[in-house]
């Protein structure tokens, strides 16, 4: 039995609308957020001003794509050397029900040492994901507590001023990520 949509949910854009808005460049991307990091501290988008933000939406129980993308981001930052000090990698979960701060802390420790994981209420995550034109949907559970989350896999680049700069498609190499970051850091 499906749950009736609330008025707020009915107004949410479809996956097609989200992706077309992102790819066409005709829709605004990004915006303010207030979420909780892996140490349990409240963080806002303003906390990261002055750094170029490399943002990825995913979830810690993801079997392959999310770890692969985060590893590529980590390797790209390593390739940048000292230039990477001007970059802040962020991982925002699309599975806030399971991705607690403690779970995020364990997960992000496997990647770049400066990677910050962010979680929040389902409403806060949904609002942030929609602002970044990110689609996600929980799949049916195969067993209690076991489910996957379908989601778009774009890497977002946000300028030092907090303004959206662009995105990279899923599957780009660490060299391509490093080149895209370098191009936005160097005058």
Q: What is the mean pLDDT of residues 61-80?
A: 95
Q: Please report the pLDDT score of residue 16 as a whole number.
A: 77
- What does the mean pLDDT of the chain come to? 89
Mean pLDDT of 36-48: 97
Q: What is the pLDDT of residue 9?
A: 46
pLDDT at 186 over 80: no
Instruction: Please determine, for residue 140, whether its predicted confidence score (pLDDT) is greater than 70.
Output: yes
Q: Which residues of 125-149 are buried (b: 16+ CB within 10 A; e: fewer)?
A: bbbbbbbbbbbbeeeeeeeeeeebb
What's the whole-model pTM score?
Answer: 0.88
pLDDT grade for 135, boundaries at 50, 70 and 90:
confident
The pLDDT value given to residue 11 = 64
**In the structure encoding, which two tokens stand for residue 106, read together?**
């364990």
pLDDT at 22: 73
Tell me the pLDDT band of 48, cut-offs 50, 70 and 90.
very high
Average pLDDT over residues 12-41: 84
Please give the pLDDT value at position 74.
Answer: 98
Dist. CA 26–CA 59, nearest whole Å: 28
Average pLDDT over every residue of 161-174: 94
Q: How far apart are CA 123 and CA 115, in angstroms?
A: 23
């Amino acid at each position: 039995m499906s749950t009736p949509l609330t008025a707020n949910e009915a107004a949410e854009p479809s996956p097609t609308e989200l992706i077309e808005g992102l790819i066409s460049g005709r829709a605004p991307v990004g915006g303010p957020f207030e979420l909780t990091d892996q140490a349990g501290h409240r963080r806002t988008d303003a906390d990261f001003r002055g750094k170029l933000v490399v943002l990825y939406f995913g979830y810690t129980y993801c079997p392959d794509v999310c770890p692969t993308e985060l590893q590529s981001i980590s390797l790209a930052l390593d390739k940048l050397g000292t230039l990477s000090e001007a970059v802040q990698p962020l991982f925002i979960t699309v599975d806030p029900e399971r991705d607690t701060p403690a779970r995020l802390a364990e997960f992000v420790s496997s990647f770049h040492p400066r990677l910050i994981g962010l979680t929040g209420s389902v409403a806060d995550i949904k609002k942030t994901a929609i602002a970044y034109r990110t689609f996600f949907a929980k799949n049916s559970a195969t067993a209690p507590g076991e489910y996957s989350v379908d989601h778009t896999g774009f890497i977002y680049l946000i300028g030092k001023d907090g303004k959206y700069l662009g995105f990279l498609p899923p599957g780009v190499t660490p060299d391509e990520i490093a080149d895209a970051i370098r191009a936005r850091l160097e005058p």
